[in-house]
């Protein structure tokens, strides 16, 4: 049975638009996203971005300043991190042809050394797909399909994130972590923001917030104390009758000393190098 990703977008609340298969787009409406002719190895499903400009008409009283400020604090802190590792467990609903939601469960491992090193791998569906970036080139790979592609890259990770999304329509794993606080007002699209209380996520005490914007309800748990890291995020697409959700739980390690080999790509035996071409249109079906 054919499966479709629900078109979830966090728009300006995550520095413009987030397409949720565990990944993000930085650009807002008016910038066309392109699709690589090679199925992306970084996400099983991708969807279309939507415009949330109508959020500016919302009553100001609906946005709790404390909940809004929490987003700003988290975004600012994320921008200060130089080396970190994130393990994330995700569950992303797809909508089957019969209208039923079905969850895709994935595990992501992301290793980052700013400003110019990254390794990300997504495990799920009997496959490992990912990307390696060494400051000069990015290499995407898909072990199940047995291919990889090595391409020139800009010298900084922030620029790479946007070039991948806009030129190749490839999403970095957990790309929203790179868009929060990147020169835009992350609360612009909000029509509602509430502080719900303190809850325990694993071993961490995290403050629970609820946000709303056109087409989306989303919840965010932010770690208490001097490290305002995201603990968990749930996003619900309110434009569809089944209200499909994306749920991600983050596990953080900060100040990690990575060996140089972490950011070097070595293809598996028998893997085939392929050439990628710039994207043309966004996909709506699963790319295995």
Other Cβ atoms less than 10 A from the Cβ of 213: the count is: 24
Distance, CA of 153 to CA of 272 (rounded, Å): 20
Position 268 in a domain: no
Residue 160 lies in a domain: no
pLDDT band, very low/low/confident/very high, at 201 (cuts 50, 70, 90): very high
The residue with greater pLDDT, 258 or 32, is 258
Total domains in the chain come to 1
| Average pLDDT across the chain, whole number | 80
Number of helices followed by number of strands (H, E) in the chain: 3, 13
Question: Mean of the pLDDT values across residues 33-61?
Answer: 37
Question: Model confidence at 227, in pLDDT bands (50, 70, 90)?
Answer: very high
Q: Is residue 129 part of a domain?
A: no
pLDDT for position 191: 93
Domain-located, residue 218: yes
Q: Per residue in 71-120, pLDDT tens? A: 999 999 999 999 999 999 999 999 999 999 999 999 999 999 999 999 99
DSSP class of residue 63 equals: B
pLDDT at 10: 36
In this model, does residue 286 exceed pLDDT 90? no
Rg (CA), the chain: 18
Percent of the chain with pLDDT over 90: 66
**In this prediction, what percent of the chain has a pLDDT beyond 70?**
74
CATH code, 65: 2.50.20
What's the distance, CA 17 to chain centroid? 10
Mean pLDDT of 276-287: 60
What pLDDT does residue 14 have?
27
In a domain, residue 133? The reply is no
CA-to-CA dists, residue 126 to 44, 92, 106, 204, 257, angstroms:
12, 16, 10, 31, 30
Q: Average of pLDDT values for 240-253?
A: 96
The CA distance from 241 to 96, in Å, is 13
Angle at 98 (CA atoms; ends 124, 7), nearest 5 degrees: 60
Is residue 287 one of the residues assigned to a domain? no
- List the single range of 25-29, 56-60, 178-182, 235-239 with lowest mean pLDDT: 25-29
| Lowest-confidence region among 4-8, 163-167, 216-220 | 4-8
Whether residue 139 lies inside any domain: the answer is no
pLDDT at 183: 60
* In-domain check, residue 132: no
Q: Which domain holds residue 68?
A: 3-120+170-261
């Amino acid at each position: 049975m054919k499966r479709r990703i629900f078109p979830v977008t966090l728009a300006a609340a995550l520095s413009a638009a987030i397409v949720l298969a565990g990944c993000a787009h930085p650009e807002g409406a008016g910038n066309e996203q392109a699709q690589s002719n090679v199925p992306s190895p970084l996400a099983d499903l991708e969807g279309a971005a939507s415009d949330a400009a109508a959020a500016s008409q919302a009553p100001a009283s609906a946005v709790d300043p404390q909940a809004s400020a929490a987003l700003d604090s988290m975004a600012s802190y994320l921008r200060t991190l130089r080396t970190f590792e994130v393990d994330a467990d995700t569950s992303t609903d797809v909508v089957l042809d019969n209208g039923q939601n079905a969850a895709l469960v994935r595990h992501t491992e992301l290793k980052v050394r700013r400003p110019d090193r990254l390794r990300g791998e997504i495990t799920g569906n009997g496959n490992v797909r990912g990307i390696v970036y060494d400051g000069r080139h990015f290499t995407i790979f898909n072990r199940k399909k047995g291919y990889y592609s090595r391409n020139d890259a800009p010298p900084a990770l922030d620029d790479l994130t946007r070039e991948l999304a806009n030129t190749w329509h490839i999403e970095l794993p957990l790309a929203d972590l790179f868009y929060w606080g990147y020169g835009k007002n992350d609360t612009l699209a909000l029509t509602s923001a509430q502080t719900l209380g303190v809850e325990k996520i694993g071993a961490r005490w995290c403050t629970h917030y609820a946000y709303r914007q056109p087409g989306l309800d989303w919840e965010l748990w932010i770690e208490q104390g001097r490290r305002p890291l995201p603990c968990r995020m749930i996003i619900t697409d309110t434009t569809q009758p089944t209200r499909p959700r994306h749920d991600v739980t983050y596990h953080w390690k900060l100040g990690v000393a990575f060996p140089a080999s972490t950011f070097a790509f070595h293809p598996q035996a028998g893997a085939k190098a392929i050439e990628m071409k710039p994207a043309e249109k966004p996909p709506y079906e699963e790319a295995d």
